[in-house]
Each structure stands twice: as C-alpha cells, then as structure tokens.
Structure 1
Amino acid sequence: MTSRRIIAATLAGHFAAAFAALGMPPFYDRILRETLHSGASWLAGWFFVIPTLLAALSNPWWGALADRYGKKRLLLRAHLGLAVSFWLTSLADNVWQFGAALALQGILGGTFAASNAYLATVASGHRLTRLLTLMQGSARAALFAGPALMGVLSQGAQPLQMYRWLALLPLLSAALVWCMPAPPSAAATPPTGRTTTGTTPPVAPAHVYALNFAFIFGTVITFPYFVPFAEHALADLPPSAPGWLFGLPHLAYLLFALPMTPCIGRRRLLPTLLASQALLAAALLGQAHSHDLPTLIVLRSLMGAAMTACYIALHGLVAAITDAGNAGRRFGSLEASTKWGAVAAGAMAGGAATQWGPHAPFLIGAAAIGLSTTLIFIARPRRACYQPPARSTD
C-alpha cells in the first residue's frame, strides 16, 4: 500500500471514529431525561468531562505501549476499544451505567493520538506538519457534521440506542487499519530528539506540551458560554445567529489551514506562535467588549485565523521533536495536555461565568494566552543560542 493510501485510510478512519464520538455529547441531557428518566440534568456537564478526563490520564500510557509494541496494533486497539465502549453505552439502564460506559470511552479510545503516531511512521518534518493540520481539520469537520447529523437521525429514535449503530463506525475504521501495513519497529528507528534535517529542536517536548495546554485552555474556556454571551451582548439577535457565530472560528480553520501551512509551517515557528497568540488574545479581548454584530463577526473571524496559525506553528514544533521511534509517547503526551487543558477550561468556565458574567471566560482566556505569549518571548533568546550542526563537505 502506498503512503498516500495509508494517509487517506488513516484520515478516513479517524473521521469516522470522531464523527461518532463528537456527535453524541450534545444529546446527553436528552438521554438523561427521556431514556434514563433522570431529573439530574446537571449531570450532562459532568458526563461531558468524564471521557476527556480519563483520556488525559490514559493517553500517555497508550502512547508508550505504541512505541513498544507497534503503532498499528495500538491504533487498531483504539478503534476496537471505542466500538466496544459504544456498544456498552447503548446497554445502559441507569445513570451509573451510562457514566461508567462514558469512562470506558475515555480509557479505551484515543484514536486521535494513535492516528497521529501512526502517521509519524510514514512522514516527518514539514510533511508531518501538514498531516497533523489535516488531522485537526478532520476533528473539526466531525465536530461540525456530527451533532447536526445526529440531530436529524435521532428524530423519533432513542439517542442512547444510536450508540449501537455508531459502534459500526470505529469497527469499519478498525477494518481499514487491519488492511494497512505495519510500520518499521521502534528498534529500527530509535528516537533522536532532533529534526529530520539534523538541527536541534526549537523547544523541549515539555515546553511544547505546556504551550499546547495554554492554547487549548485559552480557547476552550470561551466555548461553553458563548451562546449566552452572544444573547446577552447583542440585542435583537436572530435565534440561529449564536450557533453560526460559535462556528465561525472552526469554519475559518477548515477554510484556511491547508493554504496557510506552506507559508507559516516550515521555519521560524516560535515567532509565528508568538505573533499568532498575541493576535488571538487581542481577538478574545475584543469579543469580551463587543456590542454589535458586525464587530463580533470580524473578531470571531480574526480569532479563527489566529487559532489556525497557532495550530500550524504548534504542529511544526511537534513535528520537530517527533520521529517514528518516539511518536507514541509524543502524541500520547500531547493529547493528554490537550485533554487537561479542556478539562481545566470547562471547570473554570462555569464558575467564572456565574461569578463575573458571560464575558469573563474571554478575559481569562486572553490572560492565559497572553501569559503563554510572554513566556515564549522570554524563552526565545535562550533558545536562540542553539546553532545547527555544520554541514559535512564530503
């Protein structure tokens, strides 16, 4: 199988699994009320956090196993684990069983990190940066399409029973993975800690994870209460407008990620991340103080462009510290930092919005991004002392 077919199959498998996993969370409240006959609608928020929290804990462990036993095996395990947990979710008879099944989704899933680790065995450098950008686009496309299509399919049906049919999607993804070749063993490609060009990586792996955590926290904290914020800040807003405004940054990613990658994903990654995060913080601050629709549209679009550039720069930094031998640990830890950022953002968003109003998450997000940008600026001179090794004249 050619590398292009391997990449296409990996992307297709991840989209199918992500479509199923991301399509159902908006219906947790309905499942509680209509299927499990529970009046505790507040549990919907906790059920949203449970898989994310368990994934944050388990992803580094799965990543280490991928480096030891093979990326294909662990990617196959992730898809099969998701299929089993979906099927068990469909059998839940009460709130406790439903919560336990969601916990299994977090523990047994991890298809995003496993897919990235497998892709790192067939690509490196800028090509890997481009593939990571495509993978992020796959997740955002699933985030768009999943809830919308699930809403149509769930008409006249019990949402909980849909998990039984959704289990078929990761099973199909597992079949795709089964047909793909196993990459070279980790022993044949020991981790180097250097880029494919032989230069020292611009930042240490722990710093990349910290930057990713701050970026995810600063953006995700604005998600849960954006609709109430828009309704509060803008008068006479059409009912459909908050949803469209919420989706604008994600739409911008889908439109601009691939065209932007050749321009900003090759070199000067830290300065690019610094400038992009500064622009993102400014867009968040502007949204917190906007009171008219045209201004909010411009700022949401600016947020999307800055967010896209941040992702591309982060993908470039990840590619610079990743090779086929350490890809499992790298992407397992990176995905854990993403999940921890989302958990922290979700936990803080509720308290901040309740205490200070729906604009508060934007201010906290801007502060987190601004602090991260400042730390990048301080660290740059120290990293500038690294010089690439001299080229051989042989």
Structure 2
Amino acid sequence: MIVAPNINWQRNLFVVWLGCFLTGAAFSLVMPFLPLYVEQLGVTGHRELNLWSGLVFSITFLFSALASPFWGSLADRRGRKLMLLRSALGMGIVMVLMGFAQNIWQFLALRALLGVLGGFIPNANALIATQVPRNRSGWALGTLSTGGVSGALLGPVIGGLLADSYGLRPVFFITAGVLFLCFFMTLYAVKEQFTPVHKKDMLNGKQVFATLTKPRLVLGLFVTTMIIQVATGSIAPILTLYVREISGNINNLAFVSGFIASVPGFAALLSAPRLGKLGDRIGPERILIAMLIFSIVVLVPMAFVQTPWQLAALRFLLGVADGAMLPAVQTLLIYNCTNQVAGRIFSYNQSFRDIGNVSGPLLGSSVAASFGFRAVFLITAAVVLFNAIYSYWFLARKSHQPPPD
C-alpha cells in the first residue's frame, strides 16, 4: 500500500487516538450508575431492576452488530472520516436525549439508537489501517487500541465522581459535551484523501468476499474476534460476586472489585504497542496464537485462587494477552483485504465483536448459576482453547507475508 504523500498518518493516528480515548471515556462515564438511572426512571423490585439493567446494557451491542455492516458499506462509498463525524455527532445527540428520558421505554429505545449510531472506534481502525504502511500496521493498530482502553478505564471513575457531585442526569450532558468535542476535533484535524464511489459501482456482500484472496481465513478471523469477546465478557457479570466469595466480609468490596476489574486494562495499555511492534517483525498470527495459549494458562488458575490479590495478579497477566489479540486480528484483516472493501471488512468484524459482547455475559451468568463462580473460569478457558486450536488450524501453518508498501 502506498501512503498518500500529503497525508500525515502519524498525525491522524494521534488525533484519532484522542478521539478513541474520548469516545471510550464517554461510553463508560455512564456505566457505573446505569442501574441507578433505571431505578430513577421508575423500575422497582430486585428482579425487574436486574432485568432492565441487563437489557439497557446489552441492547446497545445488539443494535451495533446489526447496523455495523450498513455503516461499513457507507464508509467504503463516502469515506471513513465521514463515519467518524457521523458517529461522534450522533452519539452526542443521543446522550443529550438520554438526559431528558422520562421512562424506561424511552431510555431503552435511546440505548438501541446509541448502538445504531455508534462505531467511532472501528471506523478509526479502518481509517488508520488504510493509511499506515502495512509493515507498521501492527504497531499502529496496537497503539490505537490503547486509546479506547484508556478512556474506558478512566470513564467509570470520573462518571462516578460526577454523578455523586451533580446527580445522574447531568452526567449524560457532560458525556454529550465530550462527544461534541470529539466531533470538532475530528472535523478539523483528521485528513483523508477519498474519492466517493457511486452506489451503482459498489460491490455487494458476495462480491466483497470474492475480492479476498483468502475468504475462509477472513471469516475465521471474524469468529476469532467473537470468541475473544465471549471469553472477556463471560467473567464480567460474576467478578464482584467472586471477589466477595474469596475475600469474605471486607469493608471496601466495591473498591477492591473495581481495582481488579480495571487491572487488565492497565496491562493492555503496556502490552498492546509492544506486542503489535513484535507482530510486525515475527507475524501477527504468531502473536495471536501465543496469546491465546497464554490466556488459557492464566485462566485456569483463576478458578483456584484464595485471595483477591492472587486474582488481580492473574488478571494483569490476562490483560497482557488481551492487549495483543484484537490488534493482531485487525492487522491480519488488513493484510488480507484491499482498501476498497476495508470499511466493510472492519464493520463485519465489529458485528462479530458485538455478538460476543452480548453472548459472553449470558454464558458467564448461566454457568455461574448452574455450576458456581469457579466453573466460569474453567469453561472460559475451554472456549479459549477451542479458539486457539481453531486459529492454529487456519493461521499458524501459513507464512507471514504482509503485503508490500
């Protein structure tokens, strides 16, 4: 791939990294008090509150999975920068409306609309992937992934402080302000050379896959993305309860659980750029397989820990692997598709990721209800083992040959 001479991809990387940081923070700002806001909207009773809280959380990912292919097609026709602007502005407007919601049905509909209009981070990945020299794409995409992770780590802390200081509804307006800032920053600072494609000249879904030299490999990468998210999400619903089980009666359960929940994110910040750079040298497929195996080695002992700090140490190691796997998949995707269809390939990958985000917590909750908390880690390890074998089958036997610059 030849980078356009008047496109400063390093500056674009820096700007969209900030955009991913802001959108990651904006999304997670409201997470700490979503159940409280659901309760404020009139939902009472333990069972009903849990049901509606789960619905308003998962419906965003469900509608994102449905909408991503459409936005990916539009990105290939109109450009990735336009999709970044559409996403930031649309999500900002929806956040404002959420602050004015009067009942749970309005809030549920707006959470669904948020999923429809989202997609800043996958479009940022597509933009950078099609501009950066491909022999540096592992490092670039690994670095970019730290933006969303950083925002997601800081968002809950800031959101909790803001909610305590100003109330729940004002946090939605503050979040909207962050997204509007992201919109204007993208509008004026991100550069893209893109020639619009007429709709009649666009390839349909079947033709998109016909352009791929290894369509089965790309489909396998989609499945790998989904399973990575299933494994990540399966632990989320039971983490606080598991910490309580192994720690006994401690006064600062919320703090300890929050710390343990955040540890993988900090590890991913450290590992993603470094392992991405290593992947550029030895091949992202080797990084992906190695980190899947490493995840299994780390997950199994989690089922047998006796203290929260043992769990925290193991989750730090798991975060090292998590920080490398999705950027490795994205690098392999850009190795195996053309810029003409990159937007749709990344959007399909996002759809599989969202499916994993929805199904992972359901798996973890179901296993915990039937077999106990410790079984969740063993089942998750088995899922990752399947992913490692599956990925090795279609990846590891192939030589690492990134396309020429």
Match of 2:373, SS state, is coil
* Residue of structure 1 in register with 2:298 after alignment: 283
Residue 108 (structure 2) pairs with residue 78 (structure 1)? no
The CA distance in 2 between the partners of 1:120 and 1:381, in whole Å, is: 22
Question: Deviation per CA, 1:140-165, whole angstroms, max 9, x where unpaired?
Answer: 11111101001111124331332123
Aligned-residue offset at 1:82: 0.6
Residue 323 (structure 2) pairs with residue 308 (structure 1)? yes
Match of 1:154, SS state, is helix
Question: Deviation per CA, 1:168-189, whole angstroms, max 9, x where unpaired?
Answer: 22212111222233323266xx
State the Cα RMSD in Å. 2.9
* Residue of structure 1 in register with 2:125 after alignment: 116
Residue 368 (structure 2) pairs with residue 353 (structure 1)? yes
Residue 168 (structure 2) pairs with residue 159 (structure 1)? yes
Larger displacement relative to structure 2 (336-345 or 200-209)? 200-209
* Residue of structure 1 in register with 2:194 after alignment: 184
Aligned-residue offset at 1:53: 0.7
**2:289 alignment partner, one of 235, 253, 274:** 274
CA gap of 1:3–1:246, structure 2 versus 1, over 3 A, is same
Aligned-residue offset at 1:264: 3.0
* Residue of structure 2 in register with 1:48 after alignment: 57
**1:215 alignment partner, one of 219, 228, 232:** 228
The CA distance in 1 between the partners of 2:257 and 2:57, in whole Å, is: 21
Question: Deviation per CA, 1:326-350, whole angstroms, max 9, x where unpaired?
Answer: 2211211111111111101022222
CA gap of 1:72–1:311, structure 2 versus 1, over 3 A, is closer
**1:37 alignment partner, one of 42, 57, 77:** 42
Structure 1 contact 249–300 (Cα < 8 Å) conserved? yes
Structure 1 contact 264–312 (Cα < 8 Å) conserved? no
Structure 1 contact 266–316 (Cα < 8 Å) conserved? no
Match of 1:184, SS state, is coil
**2:14 alignment partner, one of 8, 20, 33:** 8
* Residue of structure 1 in register with 2:393 after alignment: 378
The CA distance in 1 between the partners of 2:401 and 2:142, in whole Å, is: 28
CA gap of 1:272–1:114, structure 2 versus 1, over 3 A, is closer
Q: Give matches, 1:221-232, under 5 Å.
A: 221-232=234-245
Aligned-residue offset at 1:18: 2.1
Question: Deviation per CA, 1:242-284, whole angstroms, max 9, x where unpaired?
Answer: 3222222211111222233222343333233222111101211
Structure 2 contact 226–352 (Cα < 8 Å) conserved? yes
**1:257 alignment partner, one of 268, 272, 277:** 272
Residue 352 (structure 2) pairs with residue 337 (structure 1)? yes
Aligned-residue offset at 1:132: 1.8
The CA distance in 2 between the partners of 1:383 and 1:205, in whole Å, is: 13
The CA distance in 1 between the partners of 2:278 and 2:216, in whole Å, is: 21
The CA distance in 2 between the partners of 1:185 and 1:356, in whole Å, is: 55
**1:25 alignment partner, one of 18, 25, 31:** 31
CA gap of 1:312–1:95, structure 2 versus 1, over 3 A, is closer
Aligned-residue offset at 1:311: 3.3
Structure 1 contact 75–118 (Cα < 8 Å) conserved? no
Structure 2 contact 235–364 (Cα < 8 Å) conserved? yes
Structure 1 contact 23–142 (Cα < 8 Å) conserved? no
Structure 1 contact 51–102 (Cα < 8 Å) conserved? yes
Aligned-residue offset at 1:20: 1.1
Match of 2:278, SS state, is helix
The CA distance in 1 between the partners of 2:398 and 2:165, in whole Å, is: 59
CA gap of 1:127–1:387, structure 2 versus 1, over 3 A, is closer
Structure 2 contact 134–402 (Cα < 8 Å) conserved? no
**1:106 alignment partner, one of 115, 122, 130:** 115
The CA distance in 2 between the partners of 1:225 and 1:126, in whole Å, is: 40
Match of 2:166, SS state, is coil
* Residue of structure 1 in register with 2:3 after alignment: none
Question: Deviation per CA, 1:175-205, whole angstroms, max 9, x where unpaired?
Answer: 1222233323266xx9999xxxxx9779721
**1:364 alignment partner, one of 379, 385, 393:** 379
Structure 2 contact 217–395 (Cα < 8 Å) conserved? no
Q: Percent identity?
A: 25
Aligned-residue offset at 1:54: 0.5
The CA distance in 2 between the partners of 1:59 and 1:302, in whole Å, is: 31
CA gap of 1:293–1:108, structure 2 versus 1, over 3 A, is closer
Structure 1 contact 59–113 (Cα < 8 Å) conserved? no
* Residue of structure 2 in register with 1:196 after alignment: none
* Residue of structure 1 in register with 2:142 after alignment: 133
Structure 1 contact 9–177 (Cα < 8 Å) conserved? yes
Structure 1 contact 120–323 (Cα < 8 Å) conserved? no
The CA distance in 1 between the partners of 2:401 and 2:331, in whole Å, is: 18
Gaps of 5+ in 2: 1-6
Larger displacement relative to structure 2 (139-148 or 177-186)? 177-186
**Amino acid of the structure 2 residue aligned with 1:339:** D
Aligned-residue offset at 1:230: 2.0
Larger displacement relative to structure 2 (74-83 or 157-166)? 157-166
Q: Choose between structure 1 and 2: higher helix proportion.
A: 2
